[in-house]
Structure 1
Amino acid sequence: MKKTNYSYIGIAFIVLVFGIIFIPKIVDRISNDDVIRNESRSDFADDKKNKKSDLAFIEINGEPKKVPAFSFTNQDRKTITNKDYEGKVYVIEFFFTTCPTICPRMNANLIQIQNTFKDFENFGVASFTINPDYDTPEILKAYAEQYGVTNPNWHLMTGDKATIYKLSNEGFNLYTAEEDDVAGGFEHSGNFALVDKNGFIRSRKDDFGNPIIYYRGIVSEAEKVDEDGTPEEISALKEDIKKLLNE
């Protein structure tokens, strides 16, 4: 008489129990998308890095507008070009140190923005003087110290007047002009431009889906609105800087 092989029976019983208990759970996890996929951390990091925010690209003739090439001298007498800002999110302004009206308010707001992003090495500011005949590197250095400029990526730049005005009026469409009959002798918009890490001008959209293009730089967050009822946009600018830093 042939003996029963109890070892095989035991193994078969264990397999049967495993199938009854665990296979339904595995199927359930798969159906609920709860199984860890074979994805590397680097793949996830690349996906996050390449994710674009909802900020608009400013387009000219259907093409995203990029910061024009420039080369000027900063407050430390160093030559600064647009390439020094590659890989950085930065704010653009045009100003002059003897401005008796809007420039002090603009730069007070930029100092606040600087301090908000003090821990970000890839954030900066590009300030171009529209009175280069007076605003030498030494003057710009004293101005930076007076206002509390500490960000190493905040360059206050001077250079050829015609080149600066072309950069302002044509490169950024930020109006600047010499006007003898206005306070200080120069006129400019008081707006800021926002540039992403790849050198493209970006902005949020208005209620109609159109880019606002620029951010009002004169009214502070604390003021909320100016005397004409115009609301501040510094808080919006801060929010959008964060978005670009996360792209």
Structure 2
Amino acid sequence: MKVVILAGGLGTRLSEETALRPKPMVDIGDKPILWHIMKIYAAQGFNEFVICLGYKGYIIKEYFANYFLHQSNVTIDLTTNTIETLQSQAEPWKITLVDTGKESMTGGRIKRVAPFIGNEPFLLTYGDGVSNVDVTKLLAHHKESKKMVTVTAVQPTGRFGALNLTEKDAVFSFLEKPKGDGAWINGGFFVCEPEVFNYIDGDATIWEREPMEKIAAEGQMSAYKHDGFWKPMDTLRDKQELESDWNAGKAAWKIW
């Protein structure tokens, strides 16, 4: 089963990092967050990817075009202009990189990669969020539900510490990162049947609007509740928190 990754947006809320590169290429540790996302899937047996390019997509192309060389020990003979690979740590991935337009919305990007998916179900996610979601269980839930789309539902952590007070304003408990207001939200990590392409009109279509709203209204959407780790990289603060976890060896999404 192929994994489609949306990697073409501008990432304006992370402009400190995205002025020179696309958001999925912002590093967590010494690897782009896109690499981390792909490792999450690969660790669970999904090694074929279709990446939807847009803003500065050539940077993603160049990264993977040179990936094998950068991950290998080589001997370069300048007299014969040959390169001998001695040992490689490259991933066993097959990656299709598709230019889906600089201005296309999420739905438009999905529609544009339809020829590379074929008439089969596919996995879909965003190029800026990591999780320890069990993709095998997600896929099993999707098959059991017999719906057109399954979305992973998550409960995001609140950004501010929560105080529990007595009637006299004494604090009897404090939680640094509470679970928000308890609402379930779209965490990405979808499973889609190929019929979803029929719900997307063109480049201007936003996947999370008309297509998802209509599919849900028709009773063709299921939610897979994930109560484990999930975090998007929306802001510089998010990026710093993810990198801090990675450098400290506490990256909950590192399941490989």
Under TM normalisation by the shorter chain, which class is it? under 0.3
Structure with more helix by fraction: 1
Structure with more strand by fraction: 2
Taking structure 1 as the reference length, the TM-score comes to 0.25
